[in-house]
Amino acid sequence: MRTRIDAALETFMAEEIEQLLGLHGELVPFLAQVQTSVRGGKRVRGAFCYWGWRATGQPDDDSVIRAAAAIELAHAAAIVHDDIIDGSDARRGGPSSHVALEALVKDPRHASVHATGLAILTGDLLMAWAGQLFLASGLPRAYLGRARALWFDLARELVAGECLEILSTHGEPGIDRALEIIRLKTAKYSIERPLHIGGTLGGASPGLLATFTAYGIPLGEAFQLRDDLLGVFGDPSQTGKSNMDDLRGGKPTALLAATMAAADETERKELDRLLGCPDLDRDGLDAVRQIMERTGARRRVETMIEERTEAARAAIASPLLSPDASTALARLVSPTAVREF
């Protein structure tokens, strides 16, 4: 699946880059970074779209692979913008787009500002490409028409989740608010909506779409909760980004909310001193980790992941799913929610 989606993306981007270079040859280094920002990743969102399609009884088809690849372009756009919002310097083991693009800016005094502008344009271009690839996937126009509204739902929910996260950053963390953000920013955008888009393209029944929701929301929550744990306890050589970003940024994660709720007065003072500190160092990271372990917050989040993973597995026992689709969705649980540190 990953190989087929990557091939569809490379073919599409080659055609689009040729068009852009026809406008001006100086765009070569910029477009090379645009291509880099799309490469890599597990392509799970595309896989969920594909299996949403197959669950309706539709056959394998290269057109639906291209439609699934369009969702991966939207994801690449979201990553570029997310790294700007979070001030993250690394992504997938390399520099994030707004950092890599500094090399293209002629005046070093303005490198950061202008590179951020180029990265914003990168995300905008990728989102426009996502819509173009979806419409040019080769699926019948009637199929595309019935799924069009779901693209707007996906974008609306993603933006709402991102806004709520920003508005909640550096505030008093709460698990309910953290889960609310997760559902909008991650669970719907990463799993439920890709399944719904694929299913609606294939003519899914309301019952099948409800099954996708029963599977996608808990699994999407588990995915983000795991990401929160990896963001603090993970190995950067495996996760591809710093394990200090969330703490330095004061992100309103469920892990942080659980830690604050269980911390005693001394621990809360220590957390208040360390969290949101842009100069947080390794010693500070270790101190926060120890509090998270000592208060049981890490174990609580692990339990939340286990509960949601089991709920997702229970949902795909539905008789509305074909055996092939049920097996595929079961296999997608582990790479989504059970990842190594």
Longest dimension (CA), the chain: 63
Q: Do the beta carbons of residue 225 and residue 305 sit within 8 Å?
A: yes
pLDDT per residue over 163-182, tens digit each? 999 999 888 778 999 999 99
| Together in a domain, 197 and 234 | yes
Domain end call among 139, 157, 192: 139
Full DSSP string of 152-183: HHHHHHHHHHHHHHHHHTTS---HHHHHHHHI
Domain end call among 117, 139, 161: 139
Cα distance between residue 43 and residue 295, in whole Å:
35
Token look-up 């996260």 returns 165
In 3D space, the residue among 332, 154, 302, 317 whose CA is nearest the CA of residue 222 turns out to be 302
Q: Average pLDDT, stretch 61-73? A: 97
CATH number at residue 129: 1.10.600.10
Total tally of structural domains belonging to the chain? 2
Res 295 pLDDT > 90:
yes
Which region among 9-18, 83-92, 288-297 has the lowest average model confidence (pLDDT)?
83-92
Average pLDDT over the chain, rounded to an integer: 93
| Together in a domain, 127 and 171 | no
What's the whole-model pTM score? 0.93
The domain of 328 spans 144-341
| Together in a domain, 102 and 167 | no
| Together in a domain, 164 and 134 | no
Q: Is 171 left (phi over 0), alpha (psi -120 to 50) or beta?
A: beta
pLDDT per residue over 240-250, tens digit each? 777 888 888 88
| Together in a domain, 70 and 157 | no
Terminal Cα-to-Cα distance of the chain (whole angstroms):
24
Please list the residues that pair with 95 across neighbouring strands: 90
Q: Average pLDDT, stretch 257-274? A: 94
pLDDT per residue over 138-155, tens digit each? 999 999 999 999 999 999
